[in-house]
Amino acid sequence: MREIVYPFSEAAVRDLCVGEAVRVSGLIFTGRDRLHKYLAEGGAVPVALRDGGIYHCGPVVVPEGAGWRVVAAGPTTSVREEPYMAKVIAEHGLRVIIGKGGMGAATRTACQKYGCVYLQAAGGAAALLAQRVRRVAGVCLLEEFGATEALWQLEVEGLETVVGLDTCGASLFEEVQAASGAVLQRLLTSS
Amino acid sequence: MIWSEILAELIRRATSDLPADVEAALRTAAASEQPQSQAALFLTALTENAALARKKSVPMCQDTGTLNFFWSVPRGTDESVFEQAARAATERATREGWLRRNTLDGLTGRSIDSNVAEGCPVCHFEQRSESGGQRSEAVEVWLLQKGGGCENMSRQFSLPDDSLLAGRDLEGVRRCLLQAVWEAQGYGCAPGILGVCVGADRAEGFRVAKRQLLRTLDDSAAEPALAELERRVLAEANLLGVGPMGTGGNTTLLGVKVAARPRLPASYFVTVAYMCWACRRRGVRVCGDKVEWLG
């Protein structure tokens, strides 16, 4: 089991390979459809994303005291951010993306070029993953985007993931897609 | 009998308590994967997640989904009372953190924090015809919470489809279903469950397909040809090797549930409602003072 801690160094992420299990600790930022479109269109955020990680997640949060408590926080489908991801990696210096389902060729190429990894978390395992959130360090764009699409600054400890896209240009998902496509063709030929 | 309270409890159960048959299927699947493989680890995490969500009464998945209520009521019932109760229960469940703030204005994208709006939650009513002169006053309602990730992977095919060499017969349907599972890869949170409607029009096709997701995994279609199709597609889909979350493995689908409906001569739709592993379905039956929880 590998461990990476925020702020993530280029050397640390370049050392990870597809299929390896990785635990992520420290600060991560949630972001999904609204945020990616906003960033790709040149929108500014009041946090430094450089050497940081974006977690494709719209958490369930409830107010608690003066702050917030995360009740459920699993990953959302990453491929919806494919049109924006490469640009966001290039312009904001992201090192880590956490999500589920995999991403496409543009993100794979950007990961290789700029030194970023795509990590897959267990899709839908929201109660379990919420246990890894130690505290909510802050939130931005709450008013504009609403609670689900806002950028939440989460302090996590030991968030379990597996490397889906690495900095060598390998993709766990493209391999599975191609192999399963070949099986599908065999099944459809043998009706 | 306060319906808004009963329905809030129904939402709590659905969102936090994975049905026993689905949980058992995940356990069996975990054991069928290679020990320590990514597939086995993911499936084990899902069973741990299910136990934790149940224990803490929190959502098993952060995408608490579209709320689809399927009602069966006596003939002549004023449905608006139940619709209103469903809206009140949804608002309450959102305040409790059982539901995410999960509704956006279709035009502006602004969050509708209460989750209550036109058509939200969705209520489908069926007024029962009285069989054999026996009138039952019972009201039964099933809730299906279906998230956006899997909803995005749902498909509707119009046969014949040249690209799939799918004609207007069950072999054509089989080809559509395998194609849909392959296209879904891990995007819809595999291992999934297919609810399928053969026939009907486009809108009714999706309603019927979603309705099939209320069937338990061990339920087979009454019609032998459809039962055989269900069995075959399930077995074949699990040969694809997509695996849990699309990272490879033996477990790609947990179930296939097919229904057929009348169609126009000109149309032959195959509608596939792809459901993620978090198949949140719970029901309740109320008759007089008696409340019976289902599922």
| CATH code of the domain covering residue A172 | 3.20.130.10
Same domain, B286 and B240: no
Chain A residues touching B171 at Cβ < 8 A = 191
Taking the Cβ of residue B42 and every Cβ of chain A, the question of whether any pair is shorter than 8 Å is answered with: yes
Q: List helix spans (H) across A51-141.
A: 82-92, 105-114, 126-130
pLDDT tens digits for A70-81? 999 999 999 999
Same domain, B215 and B245: yes
Distance separating alpha carbons of residues A76 and A148, to the nearest angstrom = 11
DSSP 8-state symbol, A150: S
pLDDT tens digits for B162-205? 999 999 999 999 999 999 999 999 999 999 999 999 999 999 99
Neighbouring CB atoms inside 10 A of B162's CB total 7
Please indicate whether, in this complex, the C-beta atoms of B52 and A172 are within 8 angstroms of each other.
Answer: no
Of residues A166, A162, A170, A57, the one with CA closest to residue A116: A166
Asked whether residue B130 carries a pLDDT value surpassing 80, the answer given is no
For residues B274 and B184, the answer to whether their CB atoms sit within 8 Å is yes
Torsion of CA B293, B30, A4, A76, to 10 degrees: -50
Taking the Cβ of residue A89 and every Cβ of chain B, the question of whether any pair is shorter than 8 Å is answered with: no
Taking the Cβ of residue A126 and every Cβ of chain B, the question of whether any pair is shorter than 8 Å is answered with: yes
Please name the member of A124, A146, A162 whose beta carbon is closest to the beta carbon of B247.
A162
Same domain, B7 and B140: yes
Same domain, B121 and B267: no
Of residues A36, A87, A41, the one with CA closest to residue A57: A36
Residues 36-55 of A with CB under 8 A from B: none
Higher pLDDT, B194 or B132: B194
**Banded pLDDT at B135 (limits 50, 70, 90):** confident
Which letter, b or e, does each residue of B116-146 get, where b requires 16 or more Cβ atoms within 10 Å of its Cβ? Answer: beeebbebeeeeeeeeeeeeeeebbbbbbbb
Q: Could you give phi then psi for residue B130, rounded to 5 degrees?
A: -80, 120
As given in the structure block, the two tokens for residue B58 are 């929190």
ipTM value:
0.93
Residue A121, domain extent: 2-189
Same domain, B211 and B163: yes
Residue B127, domain extent: 3-11+60-147+280-294
A36 is a catalytic site residue? yes
Chain A residues touching B45 at Cβ < 8 A = 122, 125, 128, 160
Instruction: Output the pLDDT for position A191.
Output: 67
Distance separating alpha carbons of residues B56 and B48, to the nearest angstrom = 12
Same domain, B185 and B247: yes
Torsion of CA A70, A148, A77, A128, to 10 degrees: 10
- Per cent of chain B over pLDDT 90 is 97
Chain B residues touching A123 at Cβ < 8 A = 149, 186, 189, 245, 276
Same domain, B104 and B175: no
B151, B165, B181, B245: best to mutate for the A interface, most A CBs within 10 A: B245
For residues B50 and B138, the answer to whether their CB atoms sit within 8 Å is no
Taking the Cβ of residue B31 and every Cβ of chain A, the question of whether any pair is shorter than 8 Å is answered with: no
